[in-house]
Amino acid sequence: MKRPLLISIAVLFAILLLVIVYLGGRRHGTPAPASASASASTRATSPASVDKVLYWYDPMEPAQHFPKPGKSPMGMAMVPKYADGDSPSGGVRIDPATVQNLGIRTAPVERRILSTALRVPGTITWNLREATIVSARVDAVISKLQVRAPYTKVTTGETLAELLAPQWNSALAEYGALQQAQSADAKALRSAARERLQVLGLTPADIRSAPRGSGAAITLHAPQAGVVTTLDVREGQRVSAGQTLMTLNGLATVWVEAALPQAAAGTVGDGTPATVTVDSLAGREFHGSVETLLPDIDSATRTQRARIVLTNPDGLLSPGMFVSVQLSPVHGEAVPVVPDEALIATGQQTRVIVVDSADHFRPVAVRIGRSGDGYTEILHGLLGGEKIVISGQFLIDSEASLSGALERMRDAQAPSAAPPGSAADPATSHTSHEGHTIPAESGTSHQGHTMPSDTSHDGHTIPTGGKP
């Protein structure tokens, strides 16, 4: 009989103890939410129980900080932020097992010479250095025209036209009459007559082949091989001295005018290698180099033209063709570069995720430059040698945003913002009471002063629920 009685007394005592504990908890305040209590219990039983709680925050609104636990205005249980979770760099910690499960890949920041291959459109034009104008040096009449249509190909020395020019005939007759004179004065006159014929536009070959007689026609020959691009006269037409008869253009070389965007024009200079391809000539590549950048900007397309000289021995390249030009600017200075997929562009800022250790990551704002071969130049923010995340960085960036790491990064860039816990932070403002600093939390009023849940007595701090 005594054993069941002892068991009953023990059960009653345990029930009474639980009731006392429950009533004591209801008397001294509402217990913390389950998530915060569990977190606090874990901290209390772990070796890191000395960690200091900086503030509490709502997981849905991490930018909002609160000085004590409870529920946020949105009704969410607030989460404590401990000092050990902070770092001067403003990063976040992720368990290495989680990092492995997410498949996060990293790569070092390299320093290399960034080759930016530009592919731009271009157009083939005539090489104006090989253009020749055939004109009439004297008043004449076109008696016979051998070239009757534009874009006719001619060879060097080929007959172009025959002209009836009285001034030419008189000069030729004078020169022919002086050929028989043997005196010293006659030799000087022959030399002067020959110079006159050359000034009138007759070449030595024209002079030798010119017929003698007042009504003889003078034949004009092609000074070079090429194409008659313009034909401005017709047979039987009267022409005046200096009038253009036709224009010849050579096809041994052609110009390619490539349209460069303004952003890329600064990377191209004289001598930059160029490779030209034409859709109609599949498999053929024409190599050349930039001769010069034309000093004008197209007002319609905002592009600058680069002139490239190409040899055209087979005559396959015709002016007016649309071509694709690949330019390969080479810069001799190695710069920090990162893979293109490592960049996080938000529109207002570009950043990367830097790996500090196996479980610590931090966002870093960077300023980018040129791109090429799958890499982007870093002008500011990285020096080279750092390890960055190239896969899964958006998940880490989201975690950094929720934990407030991005906000701390912005605060570090703008030191005018008041950090949490400073005198300028209204969440931690203090009130002076008899020379002591007291947090301005909800508490009891004592002689007109706002006090926390503790009451000051003779300079000692005593918990409200305890005994002095």
Q: What is the mean pLDDT of the chain?
A: 75
Task: Judge whether residue 26 has pLDDT over 60.
Answer: no
Between 227 and 200, the more confident residue is 227
Q: How confident is the model at residue 259 (pLDDT cuts 50, 70, 90)?
A: very high
How many domains is the chain built from?
A: 3
In a domain, 187, yes or no: yes
In a domain, 388, yes or no: yes
In a domain, 165, yes or no: yes
Quick check: 401 and 344 in contact, CB under 8 A? no
Give the chain's end-to-end CA distance (angstroms, integer): 46
Are 295 and 267 within one domain?
Answer: yes
Quick check: 327 and 274 in contact, CB under 8 A? yes
Are 395 and 359 within one domain?
Answer: yes
Lowest mean pLDDT among 92-101, 227-236, 397-406: 397-406
Are 178 and 110 within one domain?
Answer: no
In a domain, 45, yes or no: no
Q: What is the CATH number of the domain that holds 310?
A: 2.40.30.170
Is-above-0.75 flag for pTM? Answer: no
The mean pLDDT of 101-127, rounded to a whole number, is 87
Question: pLDDT tens-digit profile of 336-392?
Answer: 999 999 999 887 889 899 988 877 888 889 999 878 778 898 999 998 889 999 988
pLDDT score recorded for residue 215: 58
Q: How confident is the model at residue 86 (pLDDT cuts 50, 70, 90)?
A: very low
**Listed residues 242, 275, 295: the one ending a domain:** 242
Q: What percent of the chain has pLDDT over 90?
A: 26
CB burial class (10 A; 0-12, 13-18, 19+) of residue 352?
Answer: buried
Quick check: 54 and 83 in contact, CB under 8 A? yes
Task: Judge whether residue 121 has pLDDT over 80.
Answer: yes
Between 308 and 178, the more confident residue is 308
Task: Judge whether residue 6 has pLDDT over 80.
Answer: no
Residue range(s) defining the domain that contains residue 165: 137-242
Q: Which residue has the tokens 């859709």?
A: 279
Between 26 and 140, the more confident residue is 140
Are 123 and 264 within one domain?
Answer: yes
**Listed residues 242, 277, 308: the one ending a domain:** 242
Are 236 and 255 within one domain?
Answer: no
Between 226 and 89, the more confident residue is 226
pLDDT score recorded for residue 9: 72
Are 142 and 192 within one domain?
Answer: yes
Lowest mean pLDDT among 24-28, 155-159, 311-315: 24-28
Strands (E), 278-334: 285-297, 303-311, 322-327
pLDDT score recorded for residue 332: 63
Quick check: 120 and 253 in contact, CB under 8 A? no
Question: pLDDT tens-digit profile of 318-329?
Answer: 999 999 999 887
Are 123 and 256 within one domain?
Answer: yes
pLDDT score recorded for residue 405: 56
